[in-house]
Amino acid sequence: MANAVLNVEGMSCGHCVNSVEKALGEIGVSGKVDLAGKKVSVDYEESKVTIEAIKAAIEDQGYDVV
Ligand SMILES: [Cu+2]
């Protein structure tokens, strides 16, 4: 299991948190959003999902991984 913390711009409320965490869950990633810190901590299985796919899932929801 790998962990990464991504800096994500554009999340502003509980709805954003849910959107990001749900999108991550759909690709088998456990994500935790720190709204105030503009960070998303992800736990993932490196053999199953790439960090690029995780970033893409967040960006697909309309947020910017910086
Ligand atoms: Cu929001």
List of residues 6+ apart from 51 with CB closer than 8 A: 4, 44
- The predicted pLDDT at position 54 comes to 98
pTM beyond 0.85: yes
Three-state DSSP class for 50? coil
**CATH 3.30.70.100: does it fit domain 2-65?**
yes
Question: Measured in angstroms, how far is the CA atom of residue 18 from the centroid of ligand 1?
Answer: 8
For ligand 1, the distance from its centroid to the CA atom of residue 14, given in whole angstroms, is 6
Distance CA 33, CA 12 (A): 11
- Which pLDDT tens digit goes with each residue over 21-56? 999 999 999 999 999 999 999 999 999 999 999 999
Q: Which residues surround ligand 1, an ion (CB under 5 A)?
A: 12-13, 15-16
Q: Residue 64: what pLDDT?
A: 98
Mean pLDDT of 4-22: 98
Q: Which sequence spans correspond to the domains of the chain?
A: 2-65
d(CA 47, ligand 1 centre) in Å: 31
Per-residue CA distances from 59 to 1, 24, 52 (Å):
23, 11, 10
